Amino acid sequence: MSAELLINATPYETRVALVERGILQEVHIEREARRGLVGNIYRGKISRVLPGMQAAFVDIGMEKAAFLHASDIVPHTECVASKEQEKFQAGNIAELVRQGQDMLVQVVKDPLGSKGARLTTDITLPSRYLVLMPGSAHVGVSQRVESEDERERLKTIAAKHVDEQGGFIVRTAAEGAGEVELEQDARFLKRLWSKISERRKRARPCDMLYEDLRLAFRVVRDFGGVELDKIRIDSRDLFEELQSFVGEFVPELSDKLEYYPGESPIFDLYDVENEIQRALERKVELKSGGYLIIDQTEAMTTVDINTGAFVGHRNLEETIFNTNIEATQAIARQLRLRNLGGIIIVDFIDMQNEDHKRRVLASLEHALTRDRAKSSISDFSALGLVEMTRKRTRESLEHVLCAECSSCHGRGTLKTVETICYEILREIIRVNRAYDADQFVVYASPAVTDVFLGEESHSLAELEVFIGKQIRIQTEPLYGQEQFDVVMM
């Protein structure tokens, strides 16, 4: 599969697009003013212990205190076998930490919405082929390496470098790598850990000891397992920096780097800008005429599938099945593109055929195999819904690019003009009963005042008769539809 990385760099923002077969699959954005925290290591200070939540708040120098759960204080990684994970049981948080205690912590999730960053004491340091686990004697191999012979070979090589500094996880990118490359990675990680340990001795509480790579370097490191045809960069300075980085750490990608001096923006090559705009919309059109509706909320993301204009060629059941199969490919792409994580509920069009249900689930699982974020899918529920989870570490594309609407405050809807008019009339009655006023002036948006002077003028007149006082309507052009003021004169 042909794949390209397009890197658009400016002094204030870096954007990376992964394009496969000419279609945008992933977008990563990092702004200098809001650098991501995932992977950073801090000397944290416990600011508050919450036994009722089995968690603690940790001060790492951020505006919001970070969150450390009891289960994140014991060693655990996704690559450790489940039987070995069972050995580690989270203890009582009050016995594990105390207020004012210094701890070495690492960010595993960026602050999301109103929540602070999530931390772990299970420190990991990634490089090209290996992940160092300080203080561990374990050697694991990524589950994506399927060949048993290759897994055993990699495990044997990595085991040679395990010492008091820690153990290793062998990454997917190491498949086929030689012993020399793995040894170089192991030495680099051990040197890095030694430097972090030295900094910790001199650091004060809340100091950052290690900052993960900038986006462009991190993506090149982590996308090593993807068969890339080209990595195009539109900044000469960043291109030269990446040349040095790749030459030292990912030499096999050296001939893939390419400086893009084109007159048109690099993101116009594969219509990336327009794809990003479409990824912010609720509705996703399918080629057949069907469509998806994607709604992202605080608790979960919901995906609804509809046949739309697709009428099929045979019968209703076949039409529904084909729409659902097509939707699985679109869902997998949209989850990656929008970077949606957490709980995801998919409402496929109801199917009666059990074989069709199995094939739709299998299609969704297969479509997600290219997604680097870990996900798990449950079977169809009694209500015909598919529940799934996708690992979330950074904010979604919508949260990065958008802010809450100042008019609806995140509801996604506005009260109708009629509703606002009746609220104003009730407010006038309430104020009239509480205070002695000669007359009232209502300041409202143009849409509301138009209705008061038109179709609802009789309601206004009736209220004037009811309270025996004059009511004047004043237009405020800068008011939103739901804004109004009732002033006593």
* Beta carbons of 246 and 257 less than 8 angstroms apart: yes
CATH number at residue 133: 2.40.50.140
> Same structural domain for residues 71 and 202?
yes
> Same structural domain for residues 452 and 304?
no
Q: How many domains does the chain have?
A: 4
pLDDT at 311: 64
pLDDT at 81: 43
Reported as a single tens digit per residue, the pLDDT across 294-335 is: 999 888 999 999 988 766 666 788 889 999 999 999 999 999
Q: Report how far Cα 389 is from the mean position of its chain's Cα atoms.
A: 12
Q: E strands of 164-262, at which residues?
A: 166-170, 208-210, 230-233, 257-259
pLDDT at 412: 81
Nearest to 301 by CA among 382, 389, 397, 385: 389
Reported as a single tens digit per residue, the pLDDT across 413-443 is: 899 999 999 999 999 999 999 998 899 999 9
Is the predicted pLDDT of residue 409 greater than 50, yes or no?
yes
In a domain, 407, yes or no: no
Reported as a single tens digit per residue, the pLDDT across 57-83 is: 999 988 889 999 988 886 544 444 444
Which token pair is 7?
């890197």
CATH number at residue 325: 3.40.630
CA distance 109 to 401: 18
> Same structural domain for residues 11 and 52?
no
Is the predicted pLDDT of residue 42 greater than 90, yes or no?
yes
pLDDT band at 181 (very low <50, low <70, confident <90, very high): confident
Reported as a single tens digit per residue, the pLDDT across 151-179 is: 999 999 999 999 988 999 998 888 888 88
Exposure b/e, 144-181, CB count within 10 A at least 16 = b: ebeeeeebebbeebbeebbeebbbbbbbbbbbebeeeb
* Beta carbons of 326 and 286 less than 8 angstroms apart: yes
* Beta carbons of 418 and 451 less than 8 angstroms apart: yes
pLDDT at 86: 43
CA distance 386 to 344: 8
> Same structural domain for residues 263 and 285?
no
Cβ neighbours of residue 201 under 8 Å, at least 6 residues apart? none
pLDDT at 442: 95
> Same structural domain for residues 288 and 261?
no
pLDDT band at 226 (very low <50, low <70, confident <90, very high): low
pLDDT at 23: 93
Reported as a single tens digit per residue, the pLDDT across 447-457 is: 999 999 999 99
> Same structural domain for residues 226 and 162?
no
CA distance 448 to 455: 11
pLDDT at 91: 65
H or E stretch covering 451: helix 446-453
> Same structural domain for residues 23 and 90?
no
pLDDT at 406: 81
> Same structural domain for residues 225 and 268?
yes
- Which residue range is the domain that position 354 belongs to? 281-401
